[in-house]
Amino acid sequence: MPWTANAESVLPDLGGVSASPLSAEQEYKLGRSWLRQIRGQLPILSDPLIQEYSENLVYRLASHSDLEEPDLAIIVINSKDINAFAVPGGVIGLNLGLYLNAANEDEVAAVVAHEIAHVSQHHFGRRLVESQRMNKAVLAAMLASLAVAIAGDAEAGMAGIMTSQAAAIHSQLAYSRNQEREADRVGMHTLVSAGMDPEAMASFFEILLRGQQLNSRPPEFLMTHPITEDRIADARGRARTLPTVLLHDSLHFRLIKARVSSGFLGSPENAVAHFRSQFKSTGDSLHRQTTAYGLAVSYLRNREYDKAREILSKLAAHHPNEYWYRLGLAEIDQAEERHEDAMMRLRDLQELMPGNYAVTVMLAYSQIKSGQPKQAQALLRPLLHQRPSDAGLWRLAADAWGKEGELAEAHLARGEYLFLNGRDDAALAQMRYALDNSKKSFPLHSRIKARLHEMETQSKEEK
């Protein structure tokens, strides 16, 4: 399932979630409502390897944070801008620009830990309380206007924001200096608890500050997280007071960086030329692996499948325990419509790593393409139960049930996909088709009817 990085977005950071004045249930509903609008308007990346890596990193940090029972929705934005954000309800987003600009995994983790700290310390809610009480409807309207602005229609989006009440909320999105320092301190402790380098926070802040000084347009992260030399010095001093950790060099981060870079080097030909020149240079084993991987991904994007396969076959042979190279070979098989070969590789990986997200999604995709939708359904059902807000899974499920002629389930899946992307009218129409086609199955008919009622209620509440 090859992907292409070709979109730019301007993504303002929305800060952390609040325990007050919103209840936990209101937070959750608000965040998921906002996420539905964002999915319909932003270039959300659909790459199972990058998604899995990002989720693992965020949850690793969340498990060492002050968050109580984190129920997170993690999205990756297909943009080279440097940014990360968190909104009420545990929605966390990462721009691909983080991976492009960070020197190592710990620097990306530092940004994520900082965002999680804003959430766990309830900074967003505390800022609202300090100014005035805002009801949920007004806050939802403000977030909806921001969604429009983020998608590129900044003039229309800001027109929606600049109402008297929404403008007051918008003024609270930038955190105070004390809250930024608190997020730095708490986030740094999260980094250390997760076994990562506290110095990474200051080092990445320096990258951001240099970007601000060298460019007329500062990185998006700085718009609501102002960084100064004093703040960097504070972070350096605080890091020295914390326990030292054993530094590590994450191969998967390097592979992620190479994979992302390949998509942002202009044409596939340019990406091939870049990684070919890098691959000829000397370096350590990790350097050679990652530049070879970047070259293989670039060959794949350029449809030079034999060259990509040759590189990945050698990598897989020399590093048999690194499953990313075997997944890369499966990607080539899929690009060439050799789905039987892809399924053979993916089934082997599934035995080694049952439940792995990337392996499962890619295997289901090839099963659908090779005329085995029933097998794909068996893979997707438990995954959808675990991840009911995964729009990409619902789109895949719609194909799986549609290919088998199970119209009720296919319309249901299509309705869920459209609803998660904020296309309410189209989603409700699909759910009604599903209801009409499910009359022969009372349990399914009842489930669809109940879900349709939930969607209708939610859609009316958000208008």
What pLDDT shows up at residue 145? 52
What pLDDT shows up at residue 15? 41
What pLDDT shows up at residue 220? 57
Going from N- to C-terminal start, the domains of the chain cover 24-240
pLDDT in single tens digits along all 463 residues of the chain: 444 344 433 333 334 333 445 577 777 777 788 788 888 778 889 899 999 999 999 999 988 888 776 678 899 999 888 888 877 677 888 999 999 999 999 999 999 998 888 777 766 655 555 544 445 555 555 555 554 444 444 444 444 444 433 444 444 445 567 777 788 888 888 899 999 988 888 888 888 777 655 555 555 565 556 666 777 887 777 788 887 777 778 899 999 999 999 999 989 999 999 999 988 765 668 888 999 999 999 999 999 999 999 999 999 999 999 999 999 999 999 999 999 999 999 999 999 999 899 999 999 999 999 999 999 999 999 999 999 989 999 999 999 999 999 999 999 999 999 999 989 999 999 999 999 999 999 999 999 999 999 999 988 887 7
User: Could you tell me the CA-to-CA distances from 428 to 435, 454, 457 in Å, in that order?
Assistant: 10, 10, 11
What pLDDT shows up at residue 68? 72
What pLDDT shows up at residue 115? 85
What pLDDT shows up at residue 152? 41
What's the whole-model pTM score? 0.83
What pLDDT shows up at residue 258? 96
What pLDDT shows up at residue 387? 92
What pLDDT shows up at residue 175? 55
What pLDDT shows up at residue 462? 76
